[in-house]
Chain A
Amino acid sequence: MNGMSSEDGSLVDRRPIITCSGEIDVFSTIENNLSEALPQEACEWRRSLGRPIRSVHIGATFAPYSAAGLPKGNQWDLIRQPLFHIYWTECSDVDVYKSSVKEDIETWLKELSSREIPDWLIVVVENFDGKRANKLLPRTTVLDKIRADFAPKQGDRCISVINPGKSESRSADSWRGLVSRIRHLLLVAYARAVSRLEDHVRQQRERRNDPGWDFMRYFHLQEELAQVLEMLGLYDEALVQYDELDVLFSQFVANGVSSNSAAWLSNFQKPLDRWHGLKLGQSHLAKSPSILELRAYLFAKQAHMLLLLNKVWEMASRCLPFLHTCTREMSILEVSSPEGALACWLFLAAMEVLQTCDKFNHADEAEDFSFHTAGLWEYASQKLRCLGELCGLLPGGTPTSEQLHIVVLLSSGMGDNPGPPNHPSPTDKLKEALCSQDVFNKTYLELTELSMCTYKHTGRLRSARLVGRQASSFYLLLGETQKAAAFLGDALRNFEADGWRELVAQAHIELAECYRRAGDPAKLVVEAARVAGASEVDTLERWSYFEEMRKCIESLQEPVVIPFGDIIKIMNVSVKNDGPIMQDTIIEVELVIDSNFPREFVCSNLMMSLEPEPTTEKEKVSEKYCLGRTLTSKDMKTQDPRLQRLKMKKILDYKQDKQLAMAGVSSKFTVLKRKDSVPPQIHRDFSNCLEVNKLPLVITPGLNTIRLKKKADSIGKYFIGQVAVHIKKLHLISLPLSPRLLVEIKEEGPTLKLYKTAAPLLSGIEQTMNLILTIGSYSVESRSIIKLTTSPGLAVQVERDNPLVNSLEIEVGPNFPFSSIRRHLRIMADMLSKDHQVTIHCPWSAKPIVVNLTFTPPLAATWKLQTVELRKFVQVTVVGQCEKDLIAEDAVLSVAGETCDIVARNCESSQIIPNGLSYSYMWEIVFKRQLGADLPTLKVEFSVKYKLDDKDDDNKLFRYFFDINDYQTLYILDTNVTPLKGNEFCRAGAVCHLHLTISPAAEHLPVTQSVMYEVLAENGVWAVCGRTAGVVTFGDGAEERAGEVTLDVMPLCGGYLPTPLVRVSRYIHGEAGTTGKNTGCHRGCGLSVE
């Protein structure tokens, strides 16, 4: 790029003109070199008005000098005039110079200064031959002379150069000097010219509202400036000029129509007769352009600048607004054009820009492009479709002759613009598309496809879906309902994801249309139901779709399942059972649904599934649970995690010295879960479900309350899963309810209990116990057997007449849940045994039930040996323990062996022994011989017959065994209380004597030497004064055989008092040394005190 727009030769050459005078031959040898060298290097361009310094490349054209062609100093269009003037001379001889050249230069310079042209240069070309080396005197060269003569103060206006034609290394330097000098001076001149042009442009613009001002004239003027800037390589500034023109024109169009000030606008209001496509690259502006041509030219220029600036994407981004502007201005200016002409032009323009983008597209910028091209693709496809409609090219139609005529007209207006082979130009493409329906279809679909792809590529999914919607309507016309449905389905999902309900409803309407065309009742019914249930749609329309749905249902072969969506909303679910649900009871659930159908409908079935509790822990954790028994619509609302409140927490960070270093807030992000791309599985298992009793059911629009019931037949935890509403073969199914509502079904097993009556169990008597079987929530097999096993000595029976047995089997018999069966269990324990067990084996439980029973005998007996001196009596006392009175008779006491006789002292009659009362029997034991030292133990058996009542003949025998030991009388104690001497009576509070005489009972008995006595005075009656105990030692002599002791006692109260009790016991002397051991043979024998 050398700044000369050389690639585009047809463009106006805006290079400055340099005139040459003097020795033209010299110049002509270096002209080519010079014009090549000038633009090669950049040069700084300083400008007025504080504009930034730009480095520019400047070229030049050379022309021979002619005084007539010189411009005047105040001309504005200096740009087009010779700008810079060079005088060339080869003269090296001072004399020659003085004689001719000097004069020539003088006239040349005079001419220039007379026109106030300060831009000139005198070049002395030297043919270097080494002479200079001998030069001794200064100011003797021709250059020096010229400098002294013409430019004493402007040394830079004269320059010498070594002829580059013969150059070697040395000449290169001087050549470079010349080129840069020319460049610099030329730029100074050019800058002045440019600023003059700028001033002029500004001036002209100021006058834009004057009558007679013409936009096109001004346009060319400012374009000249743009071209100058372009030539200098300042493409951005050139672009600014074009942009200014653009804006200016827009303003005129916007304001001019109303203000009427711009008469020239009427030039642009001519009817449109050609709509040649926009051409980027080289472009010409026609003589009197139409508005489209002007616009196209302007845009082409802008695009050209942008391309030079390598901003291809900006060109793409400017395209759409440009096209919009054109359409708008066309309508503002009321330019009449054949129908479709504008669309043609817009399509061509869009396609041209797209093609150019494609050409300049680099892989790394593809994304930047796509942002702008996607919209263009879409625009082009829209325009093509408009044209298709106009020309009757849309599928399903055939162009009428009128429409064919339009095609011909439009094609001719486009002109010819053939592209290279294999690369048809937009015009070629459009013409082809307008001629054939097939090509039209293909082109249109290609464009939409490209548009969609590009949108998707840039992440503008919504836009892509909307284009897809367009494509689907086209496919529908083509009759390709499947493709149409696919595009619509994508769009629908997108609308749903964003929550645009009206658009969703609209998409459903379109889908319904699609399936109606396809003749697919199964899918149509779904869409019709959706539309009928969409509150956004007009009611009348909903009615018609509702009717359509009803019709479709009739023709359904297979059931069609659709989710509830907006059609039916579950408002409330509540379990109506109180407390736990027992097995085999009825589960009752109340369901409130909100039907969005516009009319009532007959629901052929309504179910609510029960799902077993998930088994895996993971599933359990991921679900939310409802704590109560009622689920309201509020509970069921799903929470968008992104909309949840952030959990903010303050953070205070302290330094070591407890000063606050930082304060802030932090938020713990709620876990962001990826949204499942696959919607949750819709149809679940309805094999276990709650149902409505009365079917069919009429569901009215709005709220409906429905009761569902189910017998709870199996136990466990269940969740209410989904609700299904069937309208014949159309099955509406809800999403699984969340949070989960729990229904727990419990069972109660049968229980068996053995109850005794209130009274204690008595051994030896048959009694009745109650065996109660309580059936729980389920009945028990009637032939199952309950087995009772008893411990030895216990027998049971349930049958009245059968004998009592140790092991008993009972059949359960017919039974019903929550009933109980009572069996009377006859039970009898052996006499004398006390603790028993009954082990019950139940068929429903592996673990036997063990019942511990304690029996008590009906009578309790105690015995006591009574002594009167040497005579012995046995007293047996029986106590009744039976609830009822016992009738006892024939009490017998017998002693084993022949040692003694028993003499009864009892009455012969029977006795009634009530509960708790005692009765005593008495027998005397008469020993047959004198008792010796060795006393045999008496084994005594007491027996008495008893019966429970008079009528009972079955007397039972009560026996009581006991042994009698130590029954011999050893000592006879005699106590006597006498008053003190002088007192007649014993008085309370007066000391008396207690005379105690202990004497052995019989001589032959082995007598213990020492006997200890203790007075056990009853407190409050007697007080013993002095000692209360002592030891009596018996001697061998007869007088010593009785121990007599006198003690002092004092009666404490008056009356007939029993003498104080004295207890004697064998005494063992301490000195025996082994006292402790001998105590084991103490034989204390209580003797009564007289």
Chain B
Amino acid sequence: MAVCVAIIGKDNAPKFFACANPEEELNFQYKVLSSLDIVEEKLNPTVKTSTADLRELYLGMLYSLETHKIYGYVTNTKIKIIIIVDSTNTSLRDNEIKSMFKKIHSEYADVVCNPFYIPGEPITSKSFAMNIKSIMLQA
């Protein structure tokens, strides 16, 4: 299971943030923020280190900390999805993380389809938060 899921808009501002433990949210925010550096690097084709296929939305592990691993995913409209996983959780494989991202992406797409949602605004939908929580926990 993931401990934190964040959706970052293309302006790099957070649109949605969910933590398994709400008390840690601020801490995770710092982590997610610094991971944006690496996401930007990977998306910037001029930087040498970005060798990844640009059509692949999954960016893989962005970086790891002693306690956590941070994974990234970028949609075609440059919406970034970040998942933080506890690094003691060795049962999570790359494929599972990938499928988690796909699920979150489709949930996000549903939210954007809602005519009452203004793109670029923080996502406040309760059902969305519920769905994300369940994705976080089930994996």
Contact = CB atoms under 8 A, between A and B. Distances in A.
B13 A498 contact: yes
B72 to A, nearest CB: 14
B26 A502 contact: yes
Interface stretch (B62-70, B96-104, B106-114, B123-131): B62-70
Given A324-B87, A368-B48, A371-B49, A466 B33 contact: yes
Contacts of A780: none
Interface size class of A (residues with CB under 8 A): 20 to 34
Contacts of B41: 458-460
Contacts of B49: 368, 371
B38 interface: yes
A187 B11 CA distance: 61
A206 interface: no
Interface residues of B, number: 27
B64 A324 contact: yes
A225 B24 CA distance: 47
Contact of A324 (B26, B29, B48, B65): B65
Contacts of A643: 10-11, 120
A713 to B, nearest CB: 43
Interface string A640-667: 1011000000000000000000000000
B114 to A, nearest CB: 18
Contacts of A463: 34, 37
Nearest to A321: B64
B29 A503 contact: yes
Contacts of A499: 11-14
B64 A460 contact: no
Contacts of B13: 498-500
Interface in A615-657: 640, 642-643
A906 B41 CA distance: 123
A254 B26 contact: no
Given A320-B64, A324-B64, A324-B87, A500 B37 contact: no
A461 interface: yes
Contacts of B64: 320-321, 324
Nearest to B122: A501
Nearest to B40: A459
B36 interface: yes
Contact of B37 (A320, A332, A462, A640): A462
Nearest to A371: B49
A503 B65 contact: no
A267 to B, nearest CB: 22
A323 B88 CA distance: 14
A320 B30 CA distance: 19
A491 to B, nearest CB: 10
Interface in A438-493: 455, 458-463, 466, 469
B38 A460 contact: yes
Given A328-B88, A460-B37, A462-B34, A500 B29 contact: yes
Contacts of A459: 37, 40-41, 47
Contacts of A368: 48-49
Contacts of A500: 13-14, 29, 33
A327 interface: yes
Interface in A250-281: 254
Contacts of B25: 502
A462 B33 contact: yes
21 contacts: A254-B90, A320-B63, A321-B64, A324-B87, A327-B66, A328-B66, A368-B48, A458-B41, A460-B34, A460-B38, A461-B37, A498-B11, A498-B36, A500-B14, A500-B29, A502-B25, A503-B30, A506-B26, A642-B10, A643-B10, A643-B11
Given A324-B65, A460-B34, 19 more contacts: A320-B63, A324-B87, A331-B88, A458-B41, A460-B37, A461-B37, A462-B34, A463-B34, A466-B33, A498-B11, A498-B33, A498-B36, A499-B13, A499-B14, A500-B13, A500-B29, A502-B25, A502-B26, A643-B11
- Sorted nearest first, the 4 A-B pairs with minimum C-beta distance are A499-B13, A460-B37, A463-B34, A498-B12
